[in-house]
Amino acid sequence: MSRLVVVSNRVPLPDKHGNPPPGGLAVAVHAALRDQGGIWMGWSGRAVADTEDVRMTTREQGRIAYSLMDLTETDVEEYYNGFANRVLWPIFHGRVDLAEYARREMAGYFRVNRLFADQLVPMLRPDDTIWVHDYHLIPLAEELRQRGVRNRIGFFLHIPWPPADILFAMPVYEAVLSGLSAYDLVGFQTDYDMDNFIGCLRREGSGSPLGDGEVVAYGRQFRVGAFPIGMETEEFANLSRASVGKPGVRDLLRSLHGRRLIIGVDRLDYSKGIPNRIDAYERFLKRHPDFRGEVTFLQVTPKSRSDVPEYRAMQEAVAAQAGRVNGDNGAVDWTPIRYINQSLKRPVLAGLYRVAQVGFVTPLKDGMNLVAKEYVAAQDPADPGVLVLSRFAGAAREMVEALLINPYDIDATANALARALSMPLEERKERWSAMMDRLRAYDVHHWCRDYLGTLAKVERPSGPALPQAAPEAANPP
């Protein structure tokens, strides 16, 4: 069996006992690496002053080598904070208005991908399978092909892929498109994302589908597919059941004094639709006064990308919005919204999901959204809660039994909350059971095997190592 080489922006390191950190992706990829042996490479998270301080460190544990590369402060600012998170992230989430394109940052993004390739090539064996993750490293395969690498290389995009009119607003969109043509398998979260990608190739006249998942673009034939990422379903269900008695969960239940609980859990990001969600909850209280004082909305929102000014501003705005709603609607003995701007430990979150009557997941755009799946997996089969889910989350393609809403429609979302809190037990069980069966059948381990199994069937590259690239695509200035 060939080794597996995984490359991602950051590497979720195991603890001293070799256990991966909690979370579906880390668990599944670590399991695959243990089975096949191999390398997980990524940025160390360390930003140094200049290139003389850059180090490459490798930590071996069992059959896995964790290779971590330092970046300079300039690299981090241009590659990560700059092009990846100020251009690619907003564009891919449909927020052209928030994209801040700068040629210097774009150059830094491609420079760091070249650095990744330079460090990775000496580690590779001819029969290694390479699996690259997410938008930070789109050009990596093209850089590896330029260096003569003919191994199977797969790519998985964890975030959405935008329609052509959105992507083409980005000045270097063709370099991004051609970069993906250097992979052997490009995986997306949903069929919608895959169709958007193919639509971009067609609109540009640079590629077309051949059928059965095969695509030709920029002189190279490769495969595309939808691989909706799952979670560690049974493990999380067991964790939630065991966590109901945790002190943090017990304390919350005691403080609710019998009120029902709506829960939202999101990293602080404009794609998550948190302001719309708070507006919808306030509208729900006004339109359904019988629920006033009878329900509490817990919003857990850890800080995110605090180095990016837009995120700092959003943090202040959301906190102010929650405070205003509480001031306008609260009572001496009831706070409508409990807003927590910090992380909670995974067992506590699992327990909170289980005791919440409604999971409130309303992103404006999301590649998948595992919170929706975690909420369902955590439920008590005898008395499950109801998932209110944005139709713009990738999870909505699978979890059709949720109450699907348009997060821009505040009235309809408010009404969905009322419906969720009033839903009869038998209907709740029926909806939950259908979603849970699907989560069990296609968990994160199945996702990992499905993707790697598909990649293993791709014929190994032949002919020139580097495909015919678009003008300026292979080495942007």
Is pLDDT of 466 > 50?
Answer: no
Q: Distance from CA of residue 181 to its chain's centroid?
A: 22
Instruction: Give the CA distances from residue 258 to residues 261, 284, 423, 429, in Å, rounded to whole numbers and listed in that order.
Output: 9, 20, 18, 22
pTM of the predicted model as reported, rounded to 2 decimal places: 0.93
pLDDT in tens, 373-406: 999 999 999 999 999 999 999 999 999 999 999 9
User: What is residue 121's predicted lDDT score, i.e. its pLDDT?
Assistant: 97
Q: In what order do the strands lie in the sheet with 152-156?
A: 56-61, 64-72, 38-48, 4-10, 129-133, 152-156, 185-188, 220-226, 214-217, 207-211
* Annotation says 366 is catalytic: yes
Q: Is 282 exposed, middle or buried (0-12, 13-18, 19+ CB in 10 A)?
A: buried
How much of the chain, in percent, has pLDDT values that exceed 70?
A: 95
Is pLDDT of 467 > 50?
Answer: no
Mean pLDDT of 145-173: 97
Mean pLDDT of 49-58: 87
Beta-bridged to residue 187, according to DSSP, are: 156, 225
Contact (Cβ atoms closer than 8 angstroms) between residue 346 and residue 239: yes
Is pLDDT of 34 > 70?
Answer: yes
pLDDT in tens, 196-251: 999 999 998 999 999 999 999 999 999 999 999 999 999 999 999 999 999 989 99
Cα Rg for the chain, rounded, in angstroms? 23
DSSP annotation string for 397-445: GT-TTSEEE-TT-HHHHHHHHHHHHH--HHHHHHHHHHHHHHHHHT-HH
CATH for the stretch 4-230+443-457: 3.40.50.2000
pLDDT in tens, 77-126: 999 999 999 999 999 999 999 999 999 999 999 999 999 999 999 999 99
Yes or no: is domain 233-441 CATH 3.40.50.1360?
A: no
| Dist CA 60 CA 429 (whole Å) | 46
Is pLDDT of 26 > 50?
Answer: yes
What does the domain layout of the chain look like in residue ranges? 4-230+443-457, 233-441
Q: Distance from CA of residue 197 to its chain's centroid?
A: 18
* Annotation says 158 is catalytic: yes
pLDDT in tens, 352-365: 999 999 999 999 99
Marked catalytic residue, from 158, 288, 445, 446: 158
Retrieve residue 293's tokens. Answer: 């004082």
User: What is residue 304's predicted lDDT score, i.e. its pLDDT?
Assistant: 74
How much of the chain, in percent, has pLDDT values that exceed 90?
A: 84
Is pLDDT of 127 > 80?
Answer: yes
Question: Do the two domains 4-230+443-457 and 233-441 of this chain adopt the same fold?
Answer: yes
Task: Find the helix or strand (DSSP H, E) in which 221 lies.
Answer: strand 220-226
User: What is residue 463's predicted lDDT score, i.e. its pLDDT?
Assistant: 40
| Dist CA 361 CA 375 (whole Å) | 9
Mean pLDDT of 308-321: 85
Mean pLDDT of 37-54: 91
Question: If we measure between CA atoms, which residue out of 163, 193, 229 comes closest to residue 25?
Answer: 229
The band of 307, judged by pLDDT with boundaries at 50, 70 and 90, is: low
Q: Are strands 64-72 and 56-61 parallel, antiparallel or unpaired?
A: antiparallel
User: What is residue 464's predicted lDDT score, i.e. its pLDDT?
Assistant: 46
Sequence-separated (6 or more) residues with CB below 8 Å from residue 140 = 7, 113, 116, 117, 120, 132
User: What is residue 459's predicted lDDT score, i.e. its pLDDT?
Assistant: 81
Is pLDDT of 471 > 70?
Answer: no
pLDDT in tens, 422-447: 999 999 999 999 999 999 999 999 99
The band of 260, judged by pLDDT with boundaries at 50, 70 and 90, is: very high
Marked catalytic residue, from 70, 134, 366, 443: 366
Q: Would you call 54 helix, strand, or coil by DSSP?
A: coil
User: What is residue 123's predicted lDDT score, i.e. its pLDDT?
Assistant: 96
